[in-house]
Structure 1
Amino acid sequence: MKLAVILLAAYVLDRIIGDPRSIPHPVVLMGKMITAIERLIRRFCSQPRALKVAGVLLPLLVAGGAWGVTAVILLLLSRLAPWLAWAAEVWLISTTIASKGLKDAGMAVYAELRKGNIPAARTALGMIVGRDTTKLESPDIVRGTVETVAENIVDAIISPLFFALLGGAPLAMAYRAVNTLDSMVGYKNDKYRNLGWASARLDDVANYIPARLTAPLLVLCAWLLRLDWRSSWRIVRRDARLHPSPNSGFPESAVAGAIGVRLGGENVYHGVASFRAYMGDPLRIMEPEDILLASRLMLRSSAIFVCLCAVAAILWHGMGG
């Protein structure tokens, strides 16, 4: 019962306040830690083989450190007063979730598109994607926003809740450390190919089960929202594994099928064009309202999943787990 209450409270806290800039965020600290460790590694390792070995140690050190520090903090607080540990665990788990932040980011793009301010919409999209947005027109701005919302349903909501269910705040923080590592060093370019390979692989492994739980969850939400749930399931089975990521194709294809659009296609990164496999069918031109539909799917699926996690926690406790 304790874990169920903590999970529900953490999710509600994120939905209400998100990540206020006035409060120090653990991910910011993780980012600084990763940067410092990377500098230290590069000072002593310059050969590809040495960097590959260091690449294995990096996620173990960062994710293990995040787990250990969180566990120690909660242990010390529990000795002072149990309610302090409960409150801290609620807040720590809430920082690993980003449902409000994801919705707000999508709505920022949507608001500018509704006003017809394409340059401002490009700028808003550029804040949340890595692709070049300076020449995008409305349909591709919408596509980029919907893809980002869909993909991050797993990384920003389902996965942290999944690991919080398995191991409370320490494991949720360890997952967030892995995800932060992937976003900082998990690139296949010359700089990070050797140092970041293990971080990228570990992130893929961590999101493997949550991504595959997300797809049927989105199909269910498509049915609840009276969207095309049959097409959603069909597109998942047809297109999910075409995505270059082993996990991102599942939420993206489910959302594409549900709202009746085609995601994927050509993107430009630092002046270099890159083609991503199509997800869904090109039934119509994408419109700003598609951002609203993707956000509704995200919010509905996250709410259902946290309730399922709470039920699972109660059942596990009832069986003596």
Structure 2
Amino acid sequence: MVEPVAFVALAVDATIGWPNWLYRRAGHPVGTFARMIGWCETRWNKPRTSQALRKLLGVATLAILVAVSAGTAALLESALRYFAGPWGWLPVALAAWPALAQRSLLEHYRPIEVALGSGDLPAARRAVGMIVGRDTARLDEPAIARAAIESLAESFCDGVIAPLFWLVVLGLPGVWAYKAINTADSLVGHPEEPLRAFGWASARLDDLANLVPARLSAALICMAGGGGWRVLWRDHAKHASPNAGWPEAAMAGVLNARLAGPIRYDGMLVAKPWIGDGGEANLATMQQARRVFVRACGLAWIATGGVEWLL
């Protein structure tokens, strides 16, 4: 019997996302991971602790997080399949749905488009500030558009393709272990102090978990956009991340626009290299990027359905 677990999870996510009313009442599973990470970081990442011990405690934090997330998901999947019998795959798909973020990404992206379309730069800066970590107070239209497009491209991997990949490969434990690892990287996997040693394991394991999905994401973006391969191969290594540069360079190539470049963080200008060699990003580029994202998600649906049918 074909079990379209991942396909149904994609469909539910695309249809309803994670509604605000549900978030207000129940939060989100990722919030549990964040609280666990925060508890460990507060107690174990002490300034007086040696770098070696802080790195070891970071490894322990990650091990606990993965064991809890994957173990809980494995027990849940086993119980759902036992009680639901041959239809157990359906509640498993519903348990996987919150790990995907197709609709959520668009819901955060669209307000930036709308604000730029109405010429409201302050609103566009506030909206883009919700999805990026750079300084946004003085961004002009091209910089706002670049920030939004970069976030959409990178999040296509982190929020759609990577969890989807691990769901198909390792089932419910795989997708929730990935979300736990990705959350840890987001919160503590930073190269700056005081997180450099404590978050080392989270950053490295997240790099490993995204190795294949990042390249799949880039390929899907190029296929959805009908090009971009030359820029992808040339510029993917310009990004500081071993993975994020793949979907970002693919999107820059498809859009024929420059992304990345010098960025301010906490008032400090960081001279990042440009990715892509086209024109300045703008509202029209943002709209094109959104259409490419939607088509790339559609290709992921087709590929997922085909894989699950074959399996």
Superposition TM-score, scaled by structure 2 size = 0.94
Secondary structure of 1:131's counterpart equals: coil
Match of 1:264 in 2: 260
Instruction: Output the CA distance in 1 between the equivalents of 2:59 and 2:161.
Output: 26
| 2:13 paired with 1:18 | no
Contact 1:92 1:173 in 2 (8 A): no
CA displacement 1:42-65 (0-9 Å, x = unmatched): 479822111111122222211221
How far has the Cα of 1:264 moved from its partner? 1.1
Change over 3 Å in CA distance of 1:45–1:198 after alignment to 2: farther
Contact 2:125 2:144 in 1 (8 A): yes
Correspondences of 1:273-288 after superposition (within 5 Å) = 273-281=269-277, 283-288=278-283
Instruction: Output the CA distance in 1 between the equivalents of 2:136 and 2:218.
Output: 28
Change over 3 Å in CA distance of 1:84–1:57 after alignment to 2: farther
Residue range with higher mean Cα deviation, 51-60 or 304-313: 304-313
Instruction: Output the CA distance in 1 between the equivalents of 2:307 and 2:181.
Output: 24
Match of 1:52 in 2: 55
How far has the Cα of 1:307 moved from its partner? 2.1
Contact 2:47 2:194 in 1 (8 A): no
5+ long unaligned stretches in structure 1? 224-228, 317-321
5+ long unaligned stretches in structure 2? none
How far has the Cα of 1:80 moved from its partner? 2.8
Correspondences of 1:1-321 after superposition (within 5 Å) = 1-3=1-3, 5-23=4-22, 24=26, 25-42=28-45, 46-82=49-85, 85-223=88-226, 229=227, 232-281=228-277, 283-316=278-311
Instruction: Output the CA distance in 2 between the equivalents of 1:21 and 1:83.
Output: 32
Root-mean-square deviation (CA, aligned residues, Å) is 1.7
Instruction: Output the CA distance in 2 between the equivalents of 1:31 and 1:166.
Output: 25
Instruction: Output the CA distance in 2 between the equivalents of 1:280 and 1:242.
Output: 10
Secondary structure of 1:268's counterpart equals: strand
Percent identical residues: 34
Match of 1:226 in 2: none
Contact 1:45 1:51 in 2 (8 A): no
Change over 3 Å in CA distance of 1:43–1:260 after alignment to 2: closer
Amino acid at match of 1:18: G
Amino acid at match of 1:193: R
Amino acid at match of 2:306: V
Instruction: Output the CA distance in 1 between the equivalents of 2:45 and 2:219.
Output: 43
CA displacement 1:68-107 (0-9 Å, x = unmatched): 0011122223333337843432223211111111111111
Residue range with higher mean Cα deviation, 192-201 or 93-102: 93-102
Secondary structure of 1:60's counterpart equals: helix
Instruction: Output the CA distance in 2 between the equivalents of 1:10 and 1:287.
Output: 33
Amino acid at match of 2:205: L
Instruction: Output the CA distance in 1 between the equivalents of 2:86 and 2:190.
Output: 41
Instruction: Output the CA distance in 2 between the equivalents of 1:133 and 1:36.
Output: 30
State the number of aligned residues: 307
Change over 3 Å in CA distance of 1:29–1:12 after alignment to 2: same
Q: Structure 1 segments of 4 or more deviating over 4 A?
A: none
Superposition TM-score, scaled by structure 1 size = 0.91
How far has the Cα of 1:220 moved from its partner? 1.1
Contact 1:125 1:141 in 2 (8 A): yes
Instruction: Output the CA distance in 2 between the equivalents of 1:44 and 1:252.
Output: 36
Contact 2:12 2:97 in 1 (8 A): yes
CA displacement 1:104-149 (0-9 Å, x = unmatched): 1111100001111100100000000000100001110001001100
Instruction: Output the CA distance in 2 between the equivalents of 1:31 and 1:84.
Output: 32
Contact 2:45 2:198 in 1 (8 A): no
Instruction: Output the CA distance in 1 between the equivalents of 2:72 and 2:43.
Output: 21
Contact 1:244 1:277 in 2 (8 A): no
CA displacement 1:274-307 (0-9 Å, x = unmatched): 12221111x3232112112112211211221232
